[in-house]
Amino acid sequence: CRMIEAKVVANNGLIALENLIANIKSGDTETCAKYVIDNSKEYKGRYIGHVPRGALSHWCRIEKGVIKNWQAVVPSTWNATPKDKDGAMGAYESCLIGLKLADLSKPLEIIRRIHSFDPCIACAVHVMDAKGAELGCYRVDPSKG
């Protein structure tokens, strides 16, 4: 469902972009609302919604034209939850139980499983043994595409 939702949103986003370009080409330069920050006022905003990876929320407070607080709870926070109050494992922990590694120095199987839940969490993964010794550090550099 999330993949279908992402595809629908992307398709409609392209339609909106094409309409925006058509408006600008026709001479309509007022295609979005202008905003003005009144430094004598305080502004508060929030977004709580659903994105392809799960629940997302942002809160923002602006005072005197300056962002005083910005807080976000992103899908990775929810997806990577550890044990709950009853001791039940989270999805990430559960999916790793019994996993066989082909090469202990390159535990790519761990990254693949975690990445299947949340592609954003696997961009920087540090794998450690039970004593805390680092076995590997893996980073994705999108500029080397």
What is the residue type of 139?
Answer: R
Mean pLDDT, the chain, integer: 82
- Could you tell me the pLDDT band of residue 31, with boundaries at 50, 70 and 90? low
Q: What angle do CA 60, 66, 68 make, to 5 degrees?
A: 45
More confident residue, 120 or 5: 5
- With 60 as the cut, is the pLDDT of residue 123 above it? no
The pLDDT tens digits for 53-105 are 778 899 999 999 999 999 998 887 777 877 888 988 888 888 889 999 898 77
The pLDDT score that the predictor gives to residue 143 is 67
Structure tokens at 110: 């761990």
Entry pTM = 0.46
Report d(CA 73, CA 56) in Å as an integer. 6
C-alpha span between 78 and 113 (Å, rounded): 17
Question: Does pLDDT of 107 surpass 90?
Answer: no
How far is Cα 116 from Cα 47, in angstroms, rounded to an integer? 26
Residue pair 78/60 in contact (Cβ under 8 Å)? The answer is no
Region 44-61 average pLDDT: 88
What residues have CB less than 8 Å from 60, skipping those under 6 apart? Answer: 43, 44, 45, 46, 67, 69, 70, 71
Q: 80 vs 32, which has greater pLDDT?
A: 80
Q: Please report, for the chain, how many H helices and E strands are present, in that order.
A: 4, 5
Residues of the chain with pLDDT > 90, as a percent, come to 20
